[in-house]
Amino acid sequence: MTESRKGFDVEVKLHGNQHNSTKKSKTSRREKASLLGHEDAIATNEEAIADGAESDESDSPDHKTFSKKRQLPSVGPEEDSEHMEANPSDKMDHESGEESLGVHESHIHNLIVTTKAYATAKALKPFAHRLTTESTILFLQNGIGVIDEVNEICFPDPETRPQYMIGVNSHGLKQRNAFDVVHAGAGTIALGILPGTGSARPLIDAPDSSRYLLRTMVRVPVLVAVGFAPTELLQQQLDKLAINAVINPITAILDIKNGNIDHNFFLKRVIRLLLAEVSLVIRSLPELQNVVNVKMRFDPRRLERLVWSVAELTAVNESSMLQDVWAQGQTEIDYINGYIVKRGEQLGIHCVVNYMLVQLIKARGVLVNKEKEGLLPFGSVAKF
């Protein structure tokens, strides 16, 4: 089933200087989609709409449907579009030259970030000045640890930081291009407002934008979104992290579908060693020491059952890390297994299996890139 949505106002931030802002683009919608990158941060003035999500346009009488179509600027072959933002309150002036291409100064109330974890800080930095303490950023991404980078690069002053929200997504999505997303599997989204992010204020003092965004997301039926307290949300993040720490790197290294990790005695040995490290680190985290039954929740045997369950449900799918390796060589490994290694070092735990997988994934990315560039002597035998 194909469902089309249109009528959004967008602004596209371009890299490079080769463009003509005074001429209307005749590029077709499909061509524009192929030119735009898939790692986009999307925002509206009062709400942001994630890839593949439906908007509840009747949520409030004060929020009207904006159907004005904004003409996208023409994109040359050497230009790389990195960031797309929808903001119905802005007006793009195509007659003012280069600076008119999406560089607006209006306040962003809510921003949903769906980029790959490693691209988040770079994508947010050009728009950091448009986010205030009354703004809310929702991170819908794999892995953990990106917020530390965002704080360091985009919002170093705690007194001027926006409010952060985290989403743990179990929906299966496959993006064919910037404007075409396949809902490959129904799931849920766990949402939570992080305490102590915006101006170090308590959770009860979160800005109105946070409550509005949370309420809007929960009321969209297709998302199956539910709000959670910060501690429970962290546990759900770690559940997903443990699953991704097994399925993603193993399938990417062996170039196999998710279901192929099951019924393999040798892989089970590796997976159990891997989960032993993951479990030990998670159960030792200081932020979980006062949580009831945390030892049982993150027991290696329970985590292993979760891995087999997800591998069976997604047996015919290729993991996101395998797709990333073949697409561009860069992956989110530093925010999955790399996070386990980092926290293990802080706790005095040496996670050698996770460290090895991090290095193997990065090595695989290098090899894929070299193969694409034709630098490896495939098809001939080297003589020594």
One CATH from 3.40.50, 2.60.120, 3.10.50, 3.30.160 for 10-227: 3.40.50
Where are the chain's structural domains? 10-227, 233-373
- Nearest to 349, CA basis, from 278, 271, 272: 278
- Confirm whether pTM is higher than 0.85: no
**Is the pLDDT assigned to residue 177 strictly greater than 70?**
yes
Would you state the pLDDT for residue 261?
A: 93
What tens digit of pLDDT does each residue of 109-139 get?
999 999 999 999 999 999 999 999 999 999 9
What tens digit of pLDDT does each residue of 69-85 get?
334 333 333 334 344 34
Output the CATH code of domain 233-373.
Answer: 1.10.1040.10
Rounded-to-integer distance, Cα 61 and Cα 325, Å: 45
**Average confidence (pLDDT) over 278-286:** 97
Q: List the structure tokens of 119.
A: 């691209």
Query: What residues have CB less than 8 Å from 72, skipping those under 6 apart?
Result: 10, 12, 25, 27, 32
What tens digit of pLDDT does each residue of 214-264 get?
999 999 999 999 999 999 999 999 999 999 999 999 999 999 999 999 888
| Look-up of token digits 């992010």 | 197
**Average confidence (pLDDT) over 53-64:** 39
